[in-house]
Structure 1
Amino acid sequence: MQIPRPSEDAKEFFRSIVPLTPGVEVKPMFGNLGAFVNGNMFAGLFGDDIGVRLLDEESVAELAAIPGTGPFGPAERAMGGYTSLPRDWQQAPDRVSEWIGIALEQVGRMPAKQPKPRATRKKA
């Protein structure tokens, strides 16, 4: 599976639209970027595509009805629960910010993700 790399412009745009609020961080993920709140990813960058995670069915249906949206992530294995925003919205940052905010609010209500314990190595 080929993982596309985002352009520097896409990374800069993504960082500019993710709100800098307590509990939110942007960090690298497989050569791309993910935005997390309390350890749970609510938005991501895959190549130059931006995707958001929505939890309520009404929001999912509303976004899915907009032309240009679609699955987010690799074509052969899209990320469940995430929707790609239309690429031309990168010329309309307010629309992207609106959906990033909706995703942040919904995912922010989830319990904080607990770090997984480190695996211990078995001695041979």
Structure 2
Amino acid sequence: MQMPRPTEEDKARFRALVPDDPGIEVKPMFGQLGAFLGGHMFAGLFGSDVGVKLPEPELAALRERGARPYGPPERPMSGYVTVPDDADAAELLVRGAQFAATLPPKVKKKR
């Protein structure tokens, strides 16, 4: 599987879309970027695609508008969609962060 590489412009665009919240952490993941709240990834960058995790009814509505699966075509990530070009990406990432805030905090695994 060939992993697409985001450009520095893609990374800067993603960081600009992530809500400004002290609880949100943007960190690298497999050569990409992910945005986390409470240990839950709510948004990610895969090549130049921005993905977001939302409640299923909102994901279904985005799929109806043409949102594609997020992640590698061979193994897309469940619970996420690629933000459609005609959508307000910043607003969707705010919604993703709000959704992540409703989930119980993840417990870090001991190494």
* TM-based fold match above 0.5: yes
CA distance in 2, matches of 1:83, 1:40: 16
Match of 1:73 among 63, 71, 74: 71
Corresponding position: 1:23 with 2:16:
no
Percent identity (aligned): 50
- Which residue in the other structure is 2:58 paired with? 59
Tell me how far 1:58 sits from its aligned partner: 2.1
2:78 is the alignment partner of 1:85? no
**Partner secondary structure for residue 110 of structure 1:** coil
The runs of 4+ residues in structure 1 deviating greater than 2 Å are none
Hey, what's the Cα distance between the residues in 1 that align with 2:52 and 2:46? 11
How far apart, in 2, do the equivalents of 1:104 and 1:60 lie?
14
TM-score, scaled to structure 2:
0.94
Aligned length: 111
SS in 2 for 1:71: coil
**Distance between the aligned counterparts of 1:117 and 1:21, measured in 2?**
27
Distance 1:61 1:47 in 2: 23
> What is the CA-CA distance between 1:22 and the residue it aligns to?
2.5
1:116 is aligned to: 109
What letter corresponds to residue 82 of structure 1 in structure 2?
Y
Match for residue 106 of structure 1? Answer: 99
Alignment partners' CA distance in 2, 1:79 and 1:61:
15
